[in-house]
Amino acid sequence: MELYEVKTLPVGESAIKVPGGKMVKVRVVFNGKVSQVRVSGDFFLHPEEAIHSLEENLKGVDNEEDLARLVEAFFKERQVVVIGATPNDFIKALLDAYKKARES
User: pLDDT tens digits for the chain (104 residues)?
Assistant: 566 665 689 999 999 999 888 999 999 999 999 999 999 999 999 999 999 999 999 999 999 999 999 999 999 998 899 999 999 999 999 999 999 999 98
Determine the pLDDT at residue 79.
87
Superfamily of segment(s) 11-103: CO dehydrogenase flavoprotein, C-terminal domain (3.30.390.50)
* 46 bridge partner residues: 81
Determine the pLDDT at residue 6.
56
Determine the pLDDT at residue 104.
87
Q: CA distances (Å), 73 to each of 4, 32, 100, in order?
A: 43, 23, 24
Beta strand 23-30 pairing with 34-41: antiparallel
Judge residue 32's burial from the number of C-beta atoms within 10 Å of its C-beta, 0-12 exposed, 13-18 middle, 19 or more buried. Answer: exposed
Angle 46-51-55 from CA coordinates, rounded to 5°: 160
Determine the pLDDT at residue 20.
86
Determine the pLDDT at residue 3.
65
- pTM assigned to the model: 0.91
